[in-house]
Chain A
Amino acid sequence: MRTIRAAAAVTVVTALAAVTGCGGGTSSDGGGSNESPKTLTYWASNQGPSIEADKKILTPELKKFEKQTGIKVKLEVIPWSDLLNRILAATTSGQGPDVLNIGNTWSASLQATGALLPWDQKNFDAIGGRDRFVDSAVASAGAEGKDPAAVPLYSLAYALYYNKQMFADAGITQPPATWDQLVADGKKISKNGKWALGAEGGNLANNIHQVFVLGKQHGADFFDSAGKPTFTSAGAVAAVKQYVHFMAKDKIVAPGNAEYAQNQSLQDFANGRTAMVLWQAAASTFAAQGMKPADWGVAPVPVPAGAPGTGQNTNSMVAGINMAVFKNTRNSDGAKEFVKFMTSDAEQKLLNKTYGSIPPVKAAQQDPAFSAPDLKVLRDTLATSAAPLPQVPTESQFETTVGTAVKDLWADAAAGRPVTTESVRAHLAKAQQLMQQ
């Protein structure tokens, strides 16, 4: 019995210690002493079809940089699913890379940690000046009124992708410009196993992107000017309800979409099961799934009425990837040199063409390659009718809590449970209460 008790005690201590153990650490306040001027570490986010593809794309550029400056860049491509946790771990330990990519929606949250180099006038001047970048892209790189925490690298916006053949089969001659038209067209298409619109109900970030835009169209932000959550405002409730009603009431989204979280809606689009998707730069994905560019069309995301523009006719969030410098870098000059290289006109054209994104650098955007029909829609959207997600420190919590509320409402819709103003408000109220920890 003593043996059993001893074994049990060891097991308990081991298991419980694993449960309770939380990492922690103190920062080593590096502050850019330029002790290692000849090497840099770069964490790149996974932009291409695979990590290997990213390495293949970026390695020649890094060699080019090394040839120009003598600085060797050690590259690590990190999947999106791991990136935020890796950044948090680096922030906690103070042992991070010199330069890293961040999702632009995380900018204000990461800015609040104080781990990233602020891009003040002097630092921007070191890379050619803030005016080189599109305003909306810079606005999505940190909280309003503060120096940005990062520099825009790749810009993206949402557009409506539609299947031309499915539209023709339903007798529809042009893509919908308003939501009413989309629903009306959708009802013509949604029959015989075909569905009008694809959604990713289980993808929290995608849910947020969609309801944020609809919220803007309803005159609602999800935060007030002081950065406090206002999830239960009439506009926010209406936005979420409108989005989930595409399935619950309008019946133009397949119930199965409620559990999609791995871009299955793009597969459905490519397979001709769904006629429309709201997505960012999806052309390369469709091409990879065997669609020809002539098979699909691209149009601006619909608005309530009229045409997309500023203010309430916002029809996309400013999506994209930013480049940040870790404050603890021992080579701040080299890191800024690298950011300057990656945001140079030539590199911007090359990298954004490869990844199918839009350069946030104004001069590079003028390249004819970004005037192809699909990219032109994205470019115009970014220039005229896109808004950055709320740049508040609690943005990542917002994505989780409201994204989960929308996910749960999709589940209700898929199960045939009613989605009403009251039920939407109840879910959003719970999300808001969870934010106030």
Chain B
Amino acid sequence: MTATVTPGRTDRADSGEMLGKGDARRRLPRIPDRTRRGGLPYLLLLPAVVLELLIHLIPMVIGIVMSFRRLTQFYIRNWGEAPWTALDNYKVAVDFDAPIGQALLHSFFVTCLFTVLTVGLCWLFGVSAAIMMQDSFRGRGFLRAVFLTPYALPVYAAVITWAFMFQRDNGLINHVLHDQLGLTDQPSFWLIGDNSFIALVVVAVWKSWPFAFLIVMAGLQNIPRELYEAASIDGAGVWQQIRKITLPSLRPVNQVLVLVLFLWTFNDFNTPYVLFGRAAPEAADLISIHIYQSSFVTWNFGSGSAMSVLLLLFLLVVTAVYLLLTTRGRRGADA
């Protein structure tokens, strides 16, 4: 396509010269009809389509096929020979009277609570920090860089550092809470027992809120300053300006931000795996680790695949409902 563009034409278009409708049509690079019929656009799309197929869609289809087979270590060498089990893996996964179903359900609820808390806190911290950083002040650049640091660090290194800090006897957290501030009667366990959920949320929020900060900060750049000036002249306080100008203007940004944070958080594998190892405490047994255990630790790939497909369906439904609701709300607002 570039071969049809002459330098003179591009220079003129780039200079912003006003062109009539006819001129624009005349000066734009023209793709010969023969090329169009030859399917050049499709050819250009082909690498992306092939990669998408290879990396995502084919493995996904294989995963779905696996979910209908009794795929254990006896068949992993040639999984096509694993016995067909129809819906057995699904029945086991959703039999909530039996231990496997109960464990999956427990894990699902833990993940839901974890997601709501983590996404909520990330959004709150991200929006608050971005609003505070909106006006320029001395040291703003430095603070912005500091806030973004967790997002820039390698996940493994960051989370393993947290794991050290959460150790009961030698960790920094207990040293501060117990030894220095005297807030607890005795050093607490953070990596086992019920507190492990708190540790998990703390690390996940620490790791993810800078993303919210970054996205909201970018969104704030698009709000005209005149709106705030006019509001200020009309006597609106800071809180009113946030409520009436900032948050409504950020709505499209927040819609995408919350969706992306939700998907990332619900599927978070790195944080619990590095923090707790391959067997997370019951209180912090996220569904990603649960499925990993079913598939790769107990070598029951069929059952693990069925759980993955159920998770996929759940996320699809939630996302569809979310998009439907937010789209409807937006349409209403636009009207």
Contacts and interface: CB of A to CB of B under 8 A. Distances in A.
Interface of A: 1, 4-5, 7-8, 11-27, 85, 88, 91-92, 94, 109-110, 112-115, 201-202, 204, 254-256, 258-259, 261, 393, 396-397, 400-401, 403-404, 407-408, 410-411, 414-415, 430, 433-435, 437
B297 interface: yes
Contacts of B297: 396-397, 400
Nearest to B103: A434
B152 interface: no
Given A88-B296, A92-B76, A400-B297, A8 B323 contact: yes
25 contacts: A1-B331, A12-B263, A15-B263, A15-B264, A20-B309, A22-B66, A22-B304, A23-B59, A24-B62, A24-B79, A88-B76, A112-B73, A202-B191, A204-B279, A256-B167, A259-B191, A397-B298, A404-B279, A408-B281, A408-B282, A411-B189, A411-B193, A414-B192, A415-B189, A434-B99
Given A202-B191, A434-B100, A393 B73 contact: yes
A27 B77 contact: yes
Interface stretch (B8-16, B111-119, B234-242, B311-319): B311-319
Contacts of B83: none
B189 A259 contact: yes
A16 B279 contact: no
Contacts of A92: 76-77, 79
Interface of B: 55-57, 59-60, 62-64, 66, 73-74, 76-80, 92, 98-100, 103, 167-169, 187, 189, 191-193, 252, 255-256, 259-260, 263-264, 267, 277-279, 281-282, 288, 293-301, 303-305, 308-309, 311-312, 315-316, 319, 323, 327, 330-331
A114 B99 CA distance: 30
A91 B279 contact: no
A114 B77 contact: yes
A377 B246 CA distance: 73
B59 A17 contact: yes
Contacts of B99: 430, 433-434
B56 A13 contact: yes
A1 to B, nearest CB: 6
Contacts of B63: 20-22
A325 to B, nearest CB: 15
B189 A16 contact: no
A138 to B, nearest CB: 22
A186 to B, nearest CB: 19
B267 to A, nearest CB: 5
Contacts of A258: 189, 192
A11 B260 contact: yes
A25 B60 CA distance: 13
A201 B330 CA distance: 53
Among A4, A91, A258, A430, find the residue whose CB has the most chain B CB atoms closer than 10 A.
A4
A142 to B, nearest CB: 14
A414 B315 CA distance: 37
Contacts of A25: 79
B74 A17 contact: no
A261 B260 contact: no
Given A27-B78, A397-B299, A407-B279, 6 more contacts: A8-B259, A22-B63, A261-B277, A393-B73, A400-B278, A411-B189
Given A18-B56, A21-B59, A433 B100 contact: yes
B279 to A, nearest CB: 4
Contacts of A12: 259, 263, 315-316, 319
Given A256-B169, A396-B297, A19 B66 contact: no
Contacts of A396: 73, 297-299
Contacts of B76: 88, 91-92, 113
Given A22-B304, A437-B92, A94 B59 contact: no
